[in-house]
Structure 1
Amino acid sequence: MAVSLGINDIKELTSLMHDKLGYPFHELSTSFMKRRLSLFFDKLFIKTKERFIEQLDNELFLKSVLYNIPVETTELFRDPGFWRVLNNKFLSSNLLAPDSVWFPDVSSGEELYSFQILNKGINHNNETTIYYNHPSNARLDEIKTGIINNKNIETHDNNFKRLELESEFSDFCHIHNGSTLINEILLEHLVPCKGWFLNTPNEPVSMIIFRNTMLYLSKPLQEKVAQVMYETLKPGGILTIGIKEPLPENIIDKMEIVDEQERIFKKPGSLV
């Protein structure tokens, strides 16, 4: 039987998680944290709130929380229209191809691999540095292996076909010991960053891909994250968010809209 958590329970648990781990769980939306906490309770066979609180003193349990908290992306090239626009307007242009890209919330690698297939595999932008964040060291290491979910190969392939490119998805992956892996050359210049979306790279970047995460944040945290990203972008840099997500008011007036439908924005200035 699933554990029933009320709003006060969620506030108590997320506050304790913040105290133990330092991440802003208490500033994520209540509905999001209710779903994630329910996942923990079911996956780890925890029957009561009190037992969960006890486990917060267990280092292995805390590592499991960090490993599982972000929502996994299950598809490569999810929302093919976005990837088509990103490729046509930026990645295929010698003038606009980014030299550094930041993924503040790479939950399971698919967004990063999608980008690298287009940026490095299709357009041969070989010197782009890719920074990617996750609060779990174990997940960071997994992402760098390039392993993708075999169960969704047909979905990956269908999404890729919708990009209307001359290549085939199979050109960019291979089978090893029964697993499907992204080709090793696409995993070069990856820089894993322990931490979540407020932990920025050590240098300004020319592109930030932060899709489908903003909707999980409280409004104050949305504004804080948007400000951090604005400051991390180089003049002329590109910020992308999810197609159903708003860009907070404290930043929207400072950005130029590149593609309103696909939620692509540009910081005023020039990369060149």
Structure 2
Amino acid sequence: MCGCATDAEDQTVSAPGLDNIEVDLLIQALQRRHGYDFSQYAPASLKRRVQQLTEQLDCKTISGLIERVMHEPELLPNILEGLTVPASDMFRDPTMFRGLREQVFPLLASYPQINIWQAGCAHGQEVYSLVILLEEAGLYERTQIFATDLSDRALQQAQDGIYPAREAQQWSRNYQASGGTRSLADYYSARYNLLKVDQHLRRNVTFAKHNLVSDSVFCEAHLILCRNVMIYFSNPLQNRVLSLFRDSLVRGGFLCLGLRESLEYASSAGEFTPFAEQLRIYRLAIHQERKLA
């Protein structure tokens, strides 16, 4: 018996599933209708989020979601939030924040002005965590933080700085584990099961929309944090974003990734040196020049 498949069998084996075709069409619709390119996001996680979004928006099929994307522009904030997963916590991975406090900040202290870029800031919890650490280190007055995200809705919540009070106990534990010197409650007010971050902490923070997929260098940074964002990107997009970070950092500047992320297989890996690799903190090679776009 011949081991070769017939043409019909070949088509059955190689043809993509209907839902994969629908996801591809959704990506095209978002790009052509609204200008957002998700084509280089990791396919498996993107497909999962598209399916979840389809259910959340009461669409029977992904094709039904595509129709709404095309004809209901007011739905775009929901779509972007569903696809970009803007989620975080205060002092998430406290050992990393302790590493910033004890190892990175003493080196940043030598600069008269410090620029920090928090890329993919989501709802802002990590931005305020960083501000609190800088405040306690005596560095915040000469620091400017640029907090960026793709989602307007996420940026608005980050600017408001209002979060569920149920998170307070865990956040306080994270804060203490990161080396906090006060009580976290000193930095927020609580009311109606919500907590609001002291707005004075926002004084040196600029929230702005920025698309890591398509936008270019916009500041010269001494420290860039982009944590738990690139795990959703394909390898080519990860390399593109790392090149953007390389070109944005001053010589000897620091890059901080999420604990599940690594530079190990990136084409830009040779341009960074591990500073605290277990904490995913890297340093741009001293010889590296910043390239303006």
Q: Which amino acid aligns with 1:23?
A: Y
**1:131 correspondence with 2:115:** no
Q: Which amino acid aligns with 1:174?
A: S
**1:20 correspondence with 2:36:** no
Give the equivalent residue in structure 1 for 2:118: 103
Q: Which amino acid aligns with 2:153?
A: A
Cα deviation for residue 260 of structure 1 reads 0.9
Cα deviation for residue 122 of structure 1 reads 4.6
Matched ranges for 1:163-182 at <5 A:
163-176=178-191, 178-182=193-197
TM-score, normalisation: structure 2 = 0.83
Give the equivalent residue in structure 2 for 1:210: 226
Q: Select which of 83, 86, 91 maps to 1:69.
A: 83
Out of 234-243 and 158-167, give the one that drifted further. 158-167
Cα deviation for residue 266 of structure 1 reads 0.7
Out of 37-46 and 106-115, give the one that drifted further. 37-46
CA distance in 1 between counterparts of 2:146 and 2:217 reads: 7
Give the equivalent residue in structure 2 for 1:263: 280
CA distance in 1 between counterparts of 2:149 and 2:51 reads: 21
Matched ranges for 1:1-272 at <5 A:
6-57=19-70, 58-92=72-106, 94-95=109-110, 99-176=114-191, 178-198=193-213, 199-200=215-216, 202-247=218-263, 248-269=265-286
> Quick one: structure 1 residues 70 and 157, their matched pair in 2 at CA, closer, same or farther if it must change by over 3 Å?
same
Structure 2 spans left out of the alignment, 5+ residues? 1-16, 288-293
Out of 178-187 and 133-142, give the one that drifted further. 133-142
Cα deviation for residue 178 of structure 1 reads 4.7
Out of 89-98 and 123-132, give the one that drifted further. 89-98
Cα deviation for residue 77 of structure 1 reads 0.8
> Quick one: structure 1 residues 121 and 187, their matched pair in 2 at CA, closer, same or farther if it must change by over 3 Å?
farther
Out of 19-28 and 195-204, give the one that drifted further. 195-204
> Quick one: structure 1 residues 73 and 136, their matched pair in 2 at CA, closer, same or farther if it must change by over 3 Å?
closer
Q: Is the contact between residue 165 and residue 190 of structure 2 (CA under 8 Å) also seen in structure 1?
A: no
Q: Is the contact between residue 88 and residue 126 of structure 2 (CA under 8 Å) also seen in structure 1?
A: no
Match of 1:69, SS?
Answer: helix
Give the equivalent residue in structure 1 for 2:8: none
Q: Is the contact between residue 228 and residue 261 of structure 2 (CA under 8 Å) also seen in structure 1?
A: yes
Cα deviation for residue 92 of structure 1 reads 4.8
Give the share of equivalent positions with the same residue, in percent: 22
TM-score, normalisation: structure 1 = 0.89
CA distance in 1 between counterparts of 2:170 and 2:45 reads: 26
Q: Is the contact between residue 133 and residue 195 of structure 1 (CA under 8 Å) also seen in structure 2?
A: yes
Q: Which has the larger radius of gyration?
A: 2
Alpha-carbon RMSD across the aligned residues, in angstroms, is 2.2
Q: Is the contact between residue 98 and residue 206 of structure 1 (CA under 8 Å) also seen in structure 2?
A: no
CA distance in 1 between counterparts of 2:22 and 2:91 reads: 37
CA distance in 1 between counterparts of 2:50 and 2:209 reads: 22
Match of 1:63, SS?
Answer: helix
CA distance in 1 between counterparts of 2:235 and 2:244 reads: 14
